[in-house]
Amino acid sequence: MSRRGSSVAHEAEATPGFEGVPPELIGHHFSSAARQNEAMRLGMWLFLATEVLLFAGLFCGYAVYRFQFPLAFEECSRHLNIPLGTLNTVVLITSSFTVALAIHFARTDRRRASAICLAITLLFALAFLGIKSVEYLEHFKEHALPGKYYSSEEVKVPGAAMFYTLYFLMTGLHGFHVVAGMSVLSYILFRTLQGRYSSAYYTGVELGGLYWHLVDLVWIFLYPLLYLI
């Protein structure tokens, strides 16, 4: 019966790398900092899974309507501003790199460098939103808008309105996530400046970074689907 009696529970305590964590950073209900870190990371990964499934609904809609209107989707895709889309992809991937650097610096106790990297990430995020609004403005001028508002002269194939419905829903939801990610990163920047993270405990930076990588990852799927194929 007592095969592996108390294995799981004590493994976490034995995990190295969580010595010297200030006790006020550990919740009263957690037996150790390692356990708290494990719980928070698992929670974040689960939350990311829900985000993936949130977008999955739209990806599913994209697949269905792409098969239904292959011509319209190709035409509209070619009418998007590919250079700006590509630039945005580069901006976002670079921001993923800077956030990874911020985690690295937090882990090695270089608080200032970590804060600077977070600030740069935020600037990249702003740049992404700026470029995206330029694109949106173009669509508004062309009346390349979703559903019943679509009256563009450029593409007149049936199904073009559906492409723009999906385009605006997907990039809009993604844009919302960029804004959400920015508020998360600002909070972490604020806490970094307060000196709440150290090599002993930097779970917050790690979680914020994870979230930002997801925002980046979703765009990496959106970019080829909307602009390239």
Partner 1 sequence: MRLSEADSPRLAGAAAPAAPSYLTDGTTVMSWLNTRDHKRIGVMFLAAVLFFFFIGGVFALALRIKLLQPGPFLVDALSYNRLFTLHGIVMIFLFLIPAIPSAFGNFLVPLMVGARDVAFPRLNLASFYIYVAGASLAIWGMLHGGADTGWTFYTPYSSTTPTQVFPILLAAFILGFSSILTGLNFIVTTHTMRAPGLNWMRLPLFVWGIYGTSIIQVLATPVLGITVLIVAVERVAGFGMFDPARGGDPVLFQHMFWFYSHPAVYIMILPAMGVISETVCAYSRKNPFGYKAIAMSSLGIAFVGFFTWGHHLFVAGQSTFDAGAFGILSMFVGVFTAIKVFNWVGTMYRGAIAFKTPMAYVCGFLYFIVFGGMTGIALATTSLDIHWHDTYFVVAHFHFIMVGASVMAFLAGLHYWFPKMFGKTYHEGFGLVAAALIILGFNATFIPQFLLGNEGMPRRYYQYPEHFQALNVASTAGATLLAFGFVIILVYLVIALGWGKQCEANPWGSKGFEWMTASPPSTHNFEEIPTITQMPHDYRTHEPPGVIRGT
5 vs 23, beta carbon nearer partner 1: 5
Minimum Å gap between C-beta 4 and partner 1 is 6
Burial (Cβ within 10 Å: 0-12, 13-18, ≥19) of residue 61 = middle
150 vs 227, beta carbon nearer partner 1: 150
- H/E stretch holding 39 reads helix 33-68
Minimum Å gap between C-beta 79 and partner 1 is 18
Q: How many CB atoms lie within 10 A of CB 52?
A: 13
What phi and psi values does residue 144 have, to the nearest 5 degrees? -85, 80
Minimum Å gap between C-beta 108 and partner 1 is 27
Q: Binding to partner 1 by residue 132, rule CB under 8 A?
A: no
Among 94, 113, 126, 149, binds partner 1 (CB under 8 A): 149
Among 87, 119, 142, 146, binds partner 1 (CB under 8 A): 146
**Among candidate residues 205, 221, 162, the one with its CA nearest the CA of residue 44:** 205
Among 15, 17, 64, 108, binds partner 1 (CB under 8 A): 64
Please check whether residue 70 is in contact with residue 89, taking contact to mean a CB–CB distance below 8 angstroms. no
Q: Binding to partner 1 by residue 74, rule CB under 8 A?
A: no
Over its C-alpha atoms, the chain yields an Rg (Å, rounded) of 22
1 vs 229, beta carbon nearer partner 1: 1
Tell me the per-residue interface mask from 86 to 115 with partner 1, x by CB under 8 A, - otherwise: ------------------------------
Please check whether residue 98 is in contact with residue 127, taking contact to mean a CB–CB distance below 8 angstroms. no
Determine what percent of the chain falls in helix, strand and coil, rounding each to the nearest 5: 80, 0, 20
Three-class SS state of 214: helix
168 vs 202, beta carbon nearer partner 1: 168
State the residues that interact with partner 1 by CB under 8 A: 1-2, 4-10, 12, 27-31, 35, 38-39, 42-43, 46-47, 49-51, 53-58, 60-61, 64-65, 68-69, 146-149, 158-159, 161-162, 165-166, 168-169, 173
